[in-house]
Amino acid sequence: MRTTEIGTSIIIGGTALFALLPSPILAQDDDGFTGSLTVGGQIETGQAETDALSLTFTGTHPYSDSGSFSVGADLTYAQYEVDHVRATVADDASAVFRVEQNYGDRWVAMVSLQTRTNEVYGVDYRVEQTNGFGVRLQKGAAAIRIVPGVSFMAHDKGVPAENGFNFNYGFYQDLTMALTPMWNLTQYAYASKDPVDPDDYTYNFDVTLTGAFTERYALSVSFQNEHESLRPVGIAESYGNMQVGLQISF
C-alpha cells in the first residue's frame, strides 16, 4: 500500500533538512514496497511576502527476507520579499540510496550513497558514501538500532580549507515505537566527525509523530534539525524544518 502526504511546511532558521537515513513507518502492499510523498507550501502576503515549496519522497523495497533497498529525495525552495527586495532563503536538494542487511535478530549492516546541494548555505555539492555495522534491540512495541561506521566524502561547502575529500567516522541511531494502536513515534540521529580536525563535525536529528484517525488517513507531525560546525562566514551553523501533514494511504 503506497502512502502520500499532503501538508504544510514551516521553515525554521532557513531551510529544510532531508532525513538522509531513516525510513518512516508506513503500510506495505503485496509486493513489499512502502513509500511516501510529502508536499508542503507557504504563501504569505502583506508587508512581507513569502513563497515556499517543500517536496519529500521516500521508498523502501525488500530484496530478501533479511535485506532491503531504500531511496529518498528532498527539495525545499523559499523566497522572502520586503519593500520590493526579494531574496532566496532556502534552496536545498538531496537524494539518497541505501542498502540494509540484517543478520539474525540482533545485527544490521548499512551502506548508503547520498548527495546534496544547498546554495543558501554555501554547499555547492556533497557526495558521501557511508558504511556501518551495528546492533538492533527490541522490547515490546519499541525498537532501536545503533550503527557506528565510517564515511568517504567529496564536497565543496564554501570553506576552502575543508573542501575536497574527507574521511569521517560517526554513528547512526533510530527508534520506532507504537505509543497506542493509533499513534506511532519515529526518531533518528546521525553524527559525523573528521578525525583530523576537531572543529569539523555535523549532527542531524529527526522526530516524527504519526496518528491514524481512519484506516486510510493519518496526521503526521515532524521536526528535523541539523548542525554543521564549519560554515562560510555569516551563515548560521544550525537550521531546522517542521512539517504538519495529512498522510493518505492507498
Give the angle subtended at the CA of 180 by the CAs of 174 and 184, to the nearest 5°: 30
Nearest to 187 by CA among 204, 170, 208, 171: 208
Mean pLDDT, to the nearest integer, of 162-174?
A: 86
Angle at 215 between CA 212 and CA 218, to 5 degrees: 30
User: What is the Cα–Cα distance from 197 to 229, expressed in whole angstroms?
Assistant: 11
Q: How confident is the model at residue 212 (pLDDT cuts 50, 70, 90)?
A: confident
Query: What is the tens place of the pLDDT at every residue in 74-114?
Result: 888 888 888 788 888 778 899 999 999 999 989 999 999 98
Lowest mean pLDDT among 1-5, 114-118, 243-247: 1-5
Specify the pLDDT at position 161. 66
Per the structure, the count of domains in the chain is 1
More confident residue, 223 or 45: 223
Question: What is 154-211 written as a DSSP string?
Answer: EEE-S-TTT-EEEEEEEEEEEEEEE-SSSEEEEEEEEEEE-SS-TT-EEEEEEEEEEE
Give the range with max mean pLDDT: 8-12, 50-54, 59-63.
59-63
Q: Give the per-residue pLDDT at 110.
A: 94
Give the pLDDT mean for 12-30: 37
Indicate the pLDDT class of residue 147, thresholds 50, 70 and 90.
Answer: very high
* Residue 11 lies in domain: 3-249
Q: What is the mean pLDDT of residues 210-236?
A: 78
With a pLDDT cut of 70, the percent of the chain lying above it is: 81
pLDDT tens string 126-146: 888 999 999 999 999 999 999
| pLDDT grade for 69, boundaries at 50, 70 and 90 | very high
What count of other Cβ atoms lies within 10 Å of the Cβ of residue 174? 20
Nearest to 59 by CA among 90, 23, 95: 23
- CB-count burial class (<10 Å; 0-12, 13-18, 19+) for 19: buried
Domain CATH for 211: 2.40.160.40
Confidence of residue 1 (pLDDT cuts 50, 70, 90): very low
Task: Give me the chain's average pLDDT, please.
Answer: 78
Tell me how far apart the alpha carbons of residues 182 and 245 are, in angstroms, rounded to a whole number: 16
pLDDT at 250: 54
